[in-house]
Amino acid sequence: MAYDQLVKAEKGDKLFLLGNEAAVRGAIEAGVSVAATYPGTPSSEIGNILSVVAEKADMYFEFSANEKVAMEVAATAAASGLRSFTFMKHVGLNVAADSFMTTAYSGVKGGMVVFVADDPSLFSSQNEQDTRNYARLANMPILEPSNPQEIKDFMVYAFDLSEHFGIPVLFRTTTRVSHMRGIVEFGDKQAPKCTTKDVESDKHWKKGFFVKNPSEFVPVPANSLNMHTRLVEKMAKITEEANESVKNEVYSFVDGALQGKYGVISSSSAFNYAYDVVNQENLGMDILKLGLSYPVPKELIADFCNNLEGIFVVEEVDPILEKEVLAIVGEYNLDIPVYGKFDETFPMVHEFNCDIVKIGFNKVLSEIKTDLVNVPETYELSDGLNKVVENIPHRAPTLCAGCSHRSAYFAAVKAYEELGFAKEDMIFASDIGCYTLGISPPFETADYLLAMGSSVGDGCGFSIATNQNVMSFIGDSTFFHSGLSPLVNAVHNKNNFVLTILDNRITAMTGGQPNPGIPIDGMGHEAPAVSIENIVKAIGVEFIEIVNPHNVKKTVDIYKKALEYDGVAVVIARYPCTLIKGQKRKKPMEIKDNCVQCLHCVEKLACPAISYLNGKVVVDEALCKACTVCIQICPNKAIGVKKGD
């Protein structure tokens, strides 16, 4: 599908869309004027698509330096009367949280949606925090779509809700909703609008007008007291909306064993599993699906529970809805058991699926009747096949062939070894990006990691707390995201560690977005590239070296000097990511006849293009990116550039 179709397609058209693609269409149908993000899986595709279609959709779009900036761009656009959209992964909301919390107080003029993609089972994240907690923390409404069609429809609803009540709206998906594909029927497109003074625009997007009102927008304590009161009043009104909302609906079945006796309350991806199990197993339980799950539709839930003999709460990660239902059962004096995570009907961690829901239902229902739920069975494999399956080799994600991070790690390890430092005296503070893959052998250059930008602050702490040698590694995009302040801290506090900025000229892990170091902005236009070395210099770092890490000897020498330097040493390891399109294809490497199978290259580089097969070292020509590192490190000079075609 060409992404243009998300803009061009008309009402009634049907496309087979990824949840995140449907989110883009939702933003277009809602008439969004300003969108901003920092890429993070599982939300990244939204930005990738907007960077292509924003202009055609009359939208301003940027990849912001981090999620907090994106939040601020969206908040101010909404305060100026425009519809604004920011989106991020769950942990991105932690970065944005400081500003996010206050946006609930100050409110909005134009609709504002904060789309947050959670990652139960951690397909691509450091934790599985549950964004529904943030709705409670900030006192902000939250919508939870379950599939791509709902993502599209709920987006339009979310903007209307936000604008109507003058409050930003949280929009929570999970990996299985954002990365689910399904059939999506399109609706009408609204033209971008402005809820304040309409002004002329000299750009392709609509401009708003900010009307001053400090009592509304400046949270000094005297103002904030009233802002908080107003927020609570707004949420009380939205509770009424939630009790009536079409996004909170009951799914009933024509027949089934437990009709009228048991019920299910669910939301998001968990609803899909609950629905399929109730349907397939012909259980007949009504399901209350909460699309607008906070503020909690208390009366609706109380009505639903009344006269039931038991309630299942099916939700992924934290038992948030379960707690709400328990509170309602208590408040309304309903004598009904609630089955969820607290009583161990369902697991407290990781994503669900139909099998997990079946097992949970069966724990309770088998007490009533034994054959209500067909618990999942596995097909018994033969011993011979089982033995093979048990020993399947792992296929963990690895640094790509030709990746400059591999070269930098190789040189860093070689440098500390040549200086005679013991491995246990080295501390490697890692960061969020492809380079976290340095955790694996042979490098093992990831000993500690907290969050985006943490490698620099962790370097500060380790260098104070220990006498060990500290090496921090951060990517270019992550450095712009949150590496600057801790580097200021490191210089000012005379910390002593080596910081490598792995500048591969792209935000690689999330699929290749530009960052402030690249001369292109989020809409594909030319933009000033911000120089990493100038920043580092301006901060006051005195040891700065820039190196192409594929030059092994030079990089090792620089690392040796850096490790012996007393103070903050910054090495900028600069070489473009091999996944950047349009790079010239170079001739691959080949193993020469004088190879003695010492396996130095295989073992020290773990390059996907080099394997040891049937007693011979071989290069996979299709994978090889001609970084030449293997040539440089071969003790027998047995690797060379392939001759001929």
Partner 1 sequence: MDKNIDYNIYISGVGGQGIIKTSVIIGEAAMNEGLDVVMSEIHGMSQRGGSVSTELKIGNYKSSIVEQSKADMILGFEPIEVLRGLDKSNKDTKLVFNDFPVIPSTLTQTGETYPDIENDIIANLKDNFDEVYPISATKLAKEAGSVLSLNMVLLGAAVSTKDFPLSRESVETAMKNNLAPKFHEMNLKAIELGYNSVKEL
Which residues make up the interface to partner 1 (CB under 8 A)?
1, 14, 16, 18, 41-42, 44-45, 123-124, 146-147, 175-176, 179-183, 269, 271-273, 275-276, 279, 353-355, 376-379, 381-382, 384-385, 388-389, 391-400, 434, 437, 440-442, 509-511, 599, 602-603, 606-613, 622
Give the residue with the Cβ less far from partner 1, 191 or 392.
Answer: 392
Classify 76 as helix, strand or coil: helix
Q: Which is nearer to partner 1, 397 or 519 (CB)?
A: 397
Residue 79 or 610: the one with the smaller Cβ distance to partner 1 is 610
Which residues touch 84 (CB under 8 Å, ≥6 apart)?
A: 32, 33, 34, 35, 36, 73, 74, 75, 77, 78, 108, 110, 111, 112, 113
Q: Identify the CA nearest to 44 among candidates 107, 89, 97.
A: 89
Minimum CB separation of residue 393 from partner 1 in Å reads 4
CB nearer partner 1, residue 442 or residue 461: 442
Minimum distance from CB of 610 to partner 1 (Å)?
Answer: 8
Name every residue whose Cβ is closer than 8 Å to that of residue 367 and which is 6 or more positions away in sequence.
Answer: none
Q: To the nearest whole angstrom, how small is the minimum distance from the Cβ of residue 169 to partner 1?
A: 24
* Residues 377, 379, 382, 387, CA torsion sign: negative
Contact 605, 431 (CB under 8 A): no
CB-neighbour burial class of residue 494 (10 A; exposed 0-12, middle 13-18, buried 19+)? exposed
Burial class, 109, CB count within 10 angstroms (exposed 0-12 / middle 13-18 / buried 19+): buried
What's the min distance (Å) between Cβ of 429 and partner 1? 19
Q: How near is the Cβ of 529 to partner 1 at its closest, in Å?
A: 26
Strands (E), 78-144: 84-89, 112-118, 142-143
CB nearer to partner 1: give 275 or 462.
275
Tell me the chain's radius of gyration from C-alpha atoms.
28
**Cβ-based neighbour number of residue 197 at 10 Å:** 11
| 368 vs 375, beta carbon nearer partner 1 | 375
Token pair for 484: 């600057």
With beta carbons less than 8 A apart as the criterion, state whether 110 and 163 touch: yes
Enumerate the β-bridge partners of residue 385: none
Which stretches within 422-497 are classed as H helix? 454-465, 476-482, 484-492
Beta strands in 484-526 (DSSP E): 497-503
**C-alpha–C-alpha distance, residues 416 and 560, integer Å:** 7
For residue 398, the 8-state DSSP code is -
CA distance 65 to 313: 39
The dihedrals phi and psi of 305, each to the nearest 5 degrees, come to -75, -30
The two tokens of residue 542 are 């005195």
Length, in residues, of the chain: 645
Strands 310-314 and 262-266: parallel
Q: How far is the CB of 197 from partner 1 (least distance, A)?
A: 42
Distance CA 227, CA 643 (A): 73
204 versus 423: smaller Cβ distance to partner 1: 423
Angle 140-142-147 from CA coordinates, rounded to 5°: 165
The residues pairing with 572 across neighbouring beta strands, listed in sequence order, are: 501, 546
Q: Hey, what are 37's tokens?
A: 């993000």
